[in-house]
Amino acid sequence: MNRFATAINCMDGRVQIPVIGYIKNNYGVDYVDMITLPGPNKILSERKPEFLVDWIKKCVEISISRHKSGLIAIIGHYDCAGNPVEEQTHKENIFSAIETIQSWQFNVDIIGLWVDEDWNVRSVFSKKK
């Protein structure tokens, strides 16, 4: 049986491959469902706009219910056009976004990832189910 994870990632094409590779290599999954939009860590941190938060939640719900995803990753990255802030603010947004995702009460692990200026993934935070 194929194993899935879910990534809530920026739409920036530079971060897709590093994130997929990192998750597959470190979490033993075969596939990573990608939910992409500009600056998702900011959107989930601020919980607005509400319609996007609801849309992200619905996408995660589909990944978990249909693909049996056991992991949700929220990603922030260097040089993000959708959330043009400093690294520390990104990391704070990631931590807050994890809290938003936890409030949805899916019974899965949640991690936060930071992609640096060399397009390497750095684990920021993790929360067990």
Cα 113 from Cα 94, distance rounded (Å)? 8
**The whole model's pTM is what?**
0.94
What is the CB neighbour count within 10 angstroms for residue 90? Answer: 25
pLDDT tens digit sequence for 69-114: 999 999 999 999 999 999 999 999 999 999 999 999 999 999 999 9
- Percentage helix, strand, coil for the chain under 3-state DSSP, each rounded to 5: 40, 25, 35
Q: Where are the domains of the chain?
A: 4-127
The reply to whether CATH 3.40.50.300 applies to domain 4-127 is no
Q: In what order do the strands lie in the sheet with 109-115?
A: 31-36, 4-9, 71-77, 109-115, 121-127
pLDDT tens digit sequence for 12-46: 999 999 999 999 999 999 999 999 999 999 999 99
Token couple for 17: 């491959």
Query: Half-sphere exposure (CA, 13 Å, Cβ side) for 93?
Result: 25
Token couple for 34: 């990608």
